[in-house]
Copies of this chain bind each other. A is one copy, B any other.
Amino acid sequence: MSQDLPRLESLIGYQLKHLQSLLRARMEEVLRPLELSTPQYACLELLRRSPGASNSELARGAFVTRQAMNTLLRGLQERGLVTRPSTVDTGRARPTTLTPEGEQLLDEAVAAVAGIEERLVSGLDEDAQRGFAEAIESCIEALQD
């Protein structure tokens, strides 16, 4: 029997979860005054980069289900932050777009969140940051499919 258990803090998966938990908490702190949740913020960011994205595309980009993104989008729509045509000429996908209000709120959110990502990597020099990003990329690749 191998009774030598590695310390929990040395397990990559555990530390990854720890870091994600902290990052989420910090983001929610600064987004709360704007009445935005982390997934909502992610959705707005996705929309600025991909105007006219469909519900399913946004769901994939935010790593949630279509159903979750659907309810999330309704909330943003009721607040006038995004718009979706009620009917569409072809297909089922309804392209979503940021409204001016949505863009403005996103700008505020970006400003609020900027400091966090900066703080996140504040202990790493430029080389280490690049190595970190490459390592994450490699892990994503390895777990795909």
- Residues of A at the B interface (CB closer than 8 Å) are 5, 8-23, 26-27, 42, 45-46, 48-49, 61, 63, 116-117, 119-124, 128-129, 131-133, 135-144
Contact = CB atoms under 8 A, between A and B. Distances in A.
A45 B140 contact: no
A58 to B, nearest CB: 12
A123 B143 contact: no
A56 B22 CA distance: 18
Number of copies: 2
A45 B143 contact: no
A130 B3 CA distance: 23
B143 A15 contact: no
A11 B45 CA distance: 11
